[in-house]
Structure 1
Amino acid sequence: MTRFDADTPTERRKLFADAVTAHRTRGSAFLTIEAAPPETPAFDPDGDDEDEEDEPQPWLQFAEKTFNLDTTDDELDRVKGLVDEFPEFRIEDLESPDTAEGTNVRISARSDANRLADFADRVFQEVYEREADYRAWVVAV
């Protein structure tokens, strides 16, 4: 791979498909995609000094036909709805440790690179509620 980020739906899906192909070709342990923090206005009229860049950003891992992601309760409901739209995908495991806020979700995903890329992009937009022009990074292959 020669590029590692994209910020349009078409380019992100191509990037994700290329990353899945590289992951499979290399036999790497996993592939990780992260969403960049949302753009923040230069001036916050509400006076809210909370810095979104300091907050953890959404991520998605793929390894051996399995997606792995962390969700809040609301995000978990949205990911369940999204998985329903992909009949070849199944939620295999939900883990909610007492020491963590939220749920780790493992989804079996047996499909081609383009279908996996479509799902990954929709996770960021529909589950994590990123805008259509969000920037994603492939941070590990």
Structure 2
Amino acid sequence: MTRFDADEPTDRRKLFADAVTAHRTRGSSFLTVEAREPEQAVQFGEDDGGEAGGTDGGDEEAEEDEPRAPPWIQFAEKTFNLDCTDGELERLNALLDEYPEFRIDEMESPEEADGTNVRISARSDANRLADFLERAFREVYEQPEGYRAWVVQV
């Protein structure tokens, strides 16, 4: 792979398909994709030396106005792994209705977490997996059309 981010729907699908192909070719443990809105680069401290959007580490509870970490999806062999809030989980189930070849294998909701970790078996070609990734970021995580997707690990 020579590029690792994209911010247009067609480019993101191609990026995702290329990442799946690279993951399979390399035999890597997994690939990870993150989604960020354009303003999140500064919000999460990427352009200011890590100062913005951080906490002092001493607060037990997160502030309601504190930015949430960008959504991510991992893919390993034939399994997607993602974290969802209750609302995101409902949207994920609705999306999976359109992917009958995919199925939820495992869901885990630790008491200390505010969501559910979902593992989805997804046996398909790279283009179908890429389409699912794009739709999951847009529909499940409600990312805007111009969000930037980053393949952060292959």
Structure-1-length-normalised TM-score: 0.89
Offset of residue 38 of structure 1 = 4.7
Which among 50, 61, 69 is matched to residue 74 of structure 2?
61
Offset of residue 37 of structure 1 = 3.6
Q: Aligned residue for 1:78?
A: 91
Please say if 1:21 is aligned against 2:34: no
Return the alpha-carbon distance in structure 1 between the equivalents of residues 73 and 105 of structure 2. Answer: 16
Return the alpha-carbon distance in structure 1 between the equivalents of residues 126 and 82 of structure 2. Answer: 18
Q: Secondary structure at the match of 1:87?
A: coil
Q: Aligned residue for 1:91?
A: 104
Q: Which amino acid aligns with 2:18?
A: D
Q: Which amino acid aligns with 1:60?
A: I
Return the alpha-carbon distance in structure 2 between the equivalents of residues 16 and 137 of structure 1. Answer: 9
Q: Aligned residue for 2:126?
A: 113
Q: Secondary structure at the match of 2:18?
A: helix
Offset of residue 39 of structure 1 = 2.8
Return the alpha-carbon distance in structure 2 between the equivalents of residues 124 and 7 of structure 1. Answer: 12
Runs of 4+, deviation exceeding 4 Å: none
Number of matched pairs: 130
Q: Secondary structure at the match of 1:139?
A: strand
Return the alpha-carbon distance in structure 2 between the equivalents of residues 122 and 133 of structure 1. Answer: 13
Return the alpha-carbon distance in structure 2 between the equivalents of residues 51 and 89 of structure 1. Answer: 34
Q: Which amino acid aligns with 2:21?
A: T
Q: Which amino acid aligns with 1:22?
A: A
Structure 2: gaps of 5 or more residues: 41-64
Q: Aligned residue for 1:36?
A: 36
Q: Secondary structure at the match of 2:34?
A: strand
Task: Please report the RMSD computed on the Cα atoms of aligned residues, expressed in angstroms.
Answer: 1.2
Structure-2-length-normalised TM-score: 0.81
Q: Which amino acid aligns with 1:4?
A: F
